[in-house]
Amino acid sequence: MIRFGVSFRLRFPRLPGRGVASAGNGGRPPRGLTLVAAAACIFIVQLDFYALSLALPSMAAELGTTTTDLHWVVSGYILAQAAFLIPGGKLGDILGRRRILVAGLAIFGMGSLGAGLGSDPPIVIAFRVVQGMGSGIVYPLAFAVITEAFPGKRAKRAIGNAYGIGAVALALGPLLGGGFTELVSWRSVLLVNVPLCLVAIVAAIVWLPESRDPTVSRRIDLVGLVVVVLGIVAITVAADRMNAWRPVVATAVAVGGLVLLAAFVLRERVAESPLIRLDLFHDTTFVVVTLMGLVANIALVVTIFATTIHLQQVRGYSPFVAGLAVCIASISGGIASPFAGRLSQRVAVRRLIAAAILVGALGLLVVAFGGAIWPYLISLAVAGFGYRIGFTVTTLGTQAMVPAERAGEASGVTLSILFAGSGIAVAAAGTMIEQGDLAAGIMRVLLGTAAGSAVAAVLLARLPRST
């Protein structure tokens, strides 16, 4: 039911069953097929982001705007995704992870259809936000299903393998985006998600076991959700409009966003059914690993965004050729994911993430200075490899720090932080690129990303561990 008063909460009936319900055919599907179905969901989400990045210049030309102004197609999607990661994970814990994951896939497909048919930037961006909502529901539940299906240390390897299967999208995404944009239309990049979602829905229904957390509260704190979403949006808008608004206005909006985020934390401390149980952050290692993953993901997303613009609008390559170039980073990132899953079983998580970020920063440093195309591409591959390892190890590392029944919650919290930070970073990067010469703006963004990620990784890795 819905309660009205000082706060609004959704309450759901308590469903029968313990941690895991039957798969619908009287037994649990084979773990291998569960892994394939979950990885298919990750595949679709990853494919869409990298594919559409290559379509931005053509989309901007047809819709009568600029590529940097269209960054909301990317950042709006990421922010909506970040906003729904936590409630998506919790809804799965309450009502059943498979059930809510299927609903998320349906929302994602409808958003793709609407954006692909959109006639002007606001409509396209609005439906991209719907897409982001769907992906925010799907993403944490895909990992939660894997964590529940694979016990103990096997979960790390399984998550790494899921990233490996899903990482095929990292290679296909730029080719799909560039090729479809050049040969058909940017709209086809979005519309192709519709049949893919239908296939993923069937796979999820057939191969994913139903599971839930019987210990979690049946309520969702809508007040907390609204406050945190408004805080993230305010900071992002301030980053986007820092050139268009007077400094005092942009600063005020940003400070307002920070105040809202602080209010969200206070709200979660006293809420009867918080979106986030703050005891997750009592573990210093969990916090530090999440922050290191945030650094890695910001660097990865900004690298793809900036190099996509650079290859097409500075170097003059067609969308398809630019897609081939970005594909180098995508392939190396795809290789990194299963490699990270195995390596994390032998190397301390914080040390591994820090080393991976430093490798990524070294590659990005060379990319920032441009130069001949082959050193540029090799360095882009190094950057993609390093930063992707950092992101993957963060996901599987934080999952291993919590009990299996809290997997959905922990995954939602971690990914929400990573994606919200990346959405804000894309908005800021688009604003910085617009300042003066395009090539110089891209160089500034890439150099700042390389240096900032390296320094942040070293400092975070040196923080003391939990006692």
With respect to residue 283, please indicate whether it lies within any of the assigned structural domains.
yes
For the segment 161-187, the average pLDDT, to the nearest whole number, is 79
Q: Give the integer Cα–Cα distance in Å for 33 and 39.
A: 10
**Co-location of 412 and 345 in the same domain:** yes
Residue 153's CATH number: 1.20.1250.20
Q: Give the integer Cα–Cα distance in Å for 353 and 263.
A: 31
Under 8 Å CB-to-CB from 408, ≥6 apart: which residues? Answer: 89, 90, 92, 93, 97, 140, 141, 144, 213
With respect to residue 21, please indicate whether it lies within any of the assigned structural domains.
no
pLDDT band at 408 (very low <50, low <70, confident <90, very high): low
Q: Which of 196-200, 273-277, 373-377, 423-427 has the highest mean pLDDT?
A: 196-200
**Co-location of 148 and 253 in the same domain:** no
Q: Which of 22-26, 37-41, 217-221, 344-348 has the highest mean pLDDT?
A: 37-41
Q: Mind listing the pLDDT tens digit for each residue in 63-81?
A: 888 877 787 887 788 778 8
Among 249, 274, 299, which residue terminates a domain?
274
With respect to residue 16, please indicate whether it lies within any of the assigned structural domains.
no
**Co-location of 65 and 196 in the same domain:** yes
With respect to residue 17, please indicate whether it lies within any of the assigned structural domains.
no
In this structure, what token pair is assigned to residue 317?
């390559």
**Co-location of 290 and 237 in the same domain:** no
**Co-location of 229 and 164 in the same domain:** no
pLDDT confidence of residue 57:
85
For the segment 410-419, the average pLDDT, to the nearest whole number, is 79
Q: In this structure, what are the phi and psi dihedrals at residue 217, rounded to the nearest 5 degrees?
A: -65, 150
Greater pLDDT, 256 or 159: 256
pLDDT confidence of residue 91:
84
Whether the predicted pLDDT of 26 surpasses 50 = no
The total of structural domains in the chain comes to 2
Share of the chain above pLDDT 90, in %: 27
With respect to residue 411, please indicate whether it lies within any of the assigned structural domains.
yes
**Co-location of 299 and 400 in the same domain:** yes
**Co-location of 270 and 281 in the same domain:** no
**Co-location of 318 and 343 in the same domain:** yes
With respect to residue 253, please indicate whether it lies within any of the assigned structural domains.
yes
Greater pLDDT, 144 or 366: 366
pLDDT band at 174 (very low <50, low <70, confident <90, very high): confident
**Co-location of 270 and 378 in the same domain:** no
With respect to residue 229, please indicate whether it lies within any of the assigned structural domains.
yes
pLDDT confidence of residue 167:
64
**Co-location of 114 and 228 in the same domain:** no
Q: Give the integer Cα–Cα distance in Å for 348 and 359.
A: 17
Mean pLDDT of the chain, nearest integer = 82
For the segment 35-46, the average pLDDT, to the nearest whole number, is 87
Among 247, 274, 301, which residue terminates a domain?
274
With respect to residue 123, please indicate whether it lies within any of the assigned structural domains.
yes
Among 274, 296, 317, which residue terminates a domain?
274
**Co-location of 281 and 270 in the same domain:** no
**Co-location of 344 and 237 in the same domain:** no
pLDDT confidence of residue 334:
67
Range of the domain at 292: 30-209+275-461
Share of the chain above pLDDT 70, in %: 87
